Amino acid sequence: MNVRTAAIIPAPDGGPELSRVLASLPHGHLREIVVVGSPGADLPDTARRYGATAVEEGRRGYGRACLTGMVHLAPEPPDVVVFLRGDGTDDAEELPAVLSPLLSPGVDFVVGSRSRGEPDPGAYPGLVRLGHRIATRLILLLYGYRFTDLGPFRAIRWQALSQLGLSDPDYGWLAEMQVSAARARITTVEVPVSSRRPAGGGSRDTTLAGLFLAGLKVLLTVLRPRSTDPPRIREPEAEPQSD
């Protein structure tokens, strides 16, 4: 089964971690790699070195970078889009495992779950894990879909992605995608993934202020008014067994 796949990698500041991510990606699984970052972040040279395309986005925000990458791909869309961070916290070598469930025609969306995997010590802090546990429990209660993480390493069919109407420019992007997928009754699978500590041992997501803002935005995203359809339990499972 020939699946045309593209990767969108938000990397606002570029840097050596981006080079490591691009070098680790199994390029044979990807038709195109789009790196989205700030102007002047030395992105073009880094991207070119690894056969990727650099797209500049001067406005901050993880969701905004993902949306900018989607706009770039829209004229000739792939079959599947993979999202992963450019700071090295996602293990790019696990791309085949994230893509594997999409080889089945019955699966449209794959979420890499750090809760099901084995993150490095400190890579998935307890407060972040707790916040995601609360958010995923709310998604189960309100929408009937069972998730264990709001992990950034994920893959989704373009056709499904394009119907979700995503718009959140920052903290709520990941939750918005999962809530929208639940509302649209998109068939979802979780696979275990690992996670690494970011360069320097921390990021804005692990500061108290960052955690508060991210947590508040995620909760507001999950609690937005929803459709009146009754929830049906849809539990993401492990990667389907191959014959």
DSSP 79-143: SEEEE--SSS-S-GGGHHHHHGGGGSTT--EEEEETTTS-PPTTTS-HHHHHHHHHHHHHHHHHH
Band of the pLDDT at 71, cuts 50, 70, 90? Answer: very high
User: Each residue of 121-134: pLDDT tens digit?
Assistant: 877 777 777 778 88
Between 113 and 228, name the one with better pLDDT.
Answer: 113
Q: Which residue, chain included where needed, has tokens 């790699």?
A: 33
Report the percentage of the chain scoring pLDDT > 70: 80
Mean pLDDT, rounded, for 142-156: 93
pLDDT reading at 232 higher than 70: no
Both tokens of residue 40? 């002047």
Mean pLDDT, rounded, for 18-46: 91
Contact 53, 72 (CB under 8 A): yes
Entry pTM: 0.85
Mean confidence (pLDDT) of the chain: 84
**6: helix, coil or strand?**
strand
Of the ranges 3-17, 62-76, 112-126, 226-240, the best mean pLDDT one? 62-76
Question: Looking at residue 8, what is its pLDDT?
Answer: 98
68 vs 176: CA distance, rounded Å: 16
Alpha carbon separation from 174 to 84, 96, 214 (Å, rounded): 11, 21, 11
Question: Looking at residue 3, what is its pLDDT?
Answer: 87
Band of the pLDDT at 25, cuts 50, 70, 90? Answer: very high
Question: Looking at residue 228, what is its pLDDT?
Answer: 42
Between 158 and 213, name the one with better pLDDT.
Answer: 158
Band of the pLDDT at 142, cuts 50, 70, 90? Answer: confident
User: Each residue of 192-201: pLDDT tens digit?
Assistant: 999 888 765 5
Question: Looking at residue 214, what is its pLDDT?
Answer: 57
Both tokens of residue 234? 């849809």
Both tokens of residue 100? 């594997």
Question: Looking at residue 40, what is its pLDDT?
Answer: 74
Of 29, 155, 2, nearest in space to 84 by CA? 155
- Positive or negative: CA dihedral 69, 72, 74, 80: negative
Question: Looking at residue 240, what is its pLDDT?
Answer: 46
DSSP 19-69: HHHHHHS-GGG-SEEEEEE-TTSSHHHHHHHTT-EEEE--S--HHHHHHHH
Band of the pLDDT at 105, cuts 50, 70, 90? Answer: confident
230 vs 157: CA distance, rounded Å: 25
Strand order in the sheet with 5-10: 53-56, 32-37, 5-10, 80-83, 154-157, 109-113, 188-192
